[in-house]
Amino acid sequence: MKTMASMLLFLWLAIPAAAQDAPAPEKRSYSYLVYWRTARIGYQKSSWTTETVDGSRRDTISDETYIKIKRSFDGTTFEVRESSKKIYGPDWKPVSQSNERSDGGQKTTTEVKYSDKSISITEASGKGKPVNFEVSLEGKNFLDDQQAFAKLKAEGRLKAQQRLSFDAFSSSDK
């Protein structure tokens, strides 16, 4: 019985030590003010978090933007708010992306999920029914912006004044 109690005590003391081995996420934050001529019209806050999940690197980039414009000749005010979050796995492979935009009374949300064979997109505007569609990646070499830049840099193909062209996919283009 004493052996069992000492083993349980040993396990109880060993488990918290093992749980503390995971490194804390590294977070970098950036803040910007938005100006039009001499008037401050908004801001952008960005954060980039790097952490290890299941032994793999995961990067999360979050942006929050707010712009408010007031016209002097009639006093009309326009406000735009946008929040986005992009999650990348190892080698900047995209995992998911979400975007929420409020433009006056209109609110639009977009969620993108990436898999090895397809990209799934869900978009909702206002109080309307969400629209779902899927884009097949079969036979295509798909790279996100971050992946394309990293690949071109690794291959030594980023040179001054060199023009590169790509096929593009955007959820707004459907």
Residue whose structure tokens are 């804390």? 24
As a whole number, the mean pLDDT across the chain is: 81
Higher-confidence residue: 52 or 145?
52
The region of weakest confidence among 12-21, 132-141, 150-159 is 12-21
CB 115 within 8 A of CB 96: no
Does residue 157 carry a pLDDT above 50? yes
For the stretch 80-120, pLDDT in tens is: 999 999 999 987 888 999 999 998 778 999 999 988 888 89
pTM of the full structure: 0.69
**Is 90 buried (19+), middle (13-18) or exposed (0-12) by CB count in 10 A?**
exposed
Which region, left, alpha or beta, applies to residue 154 given φ > 0 means left and ψ of -120 to 50 means alpha? alpha
Residue whose structure tokens are 């060993």? 14
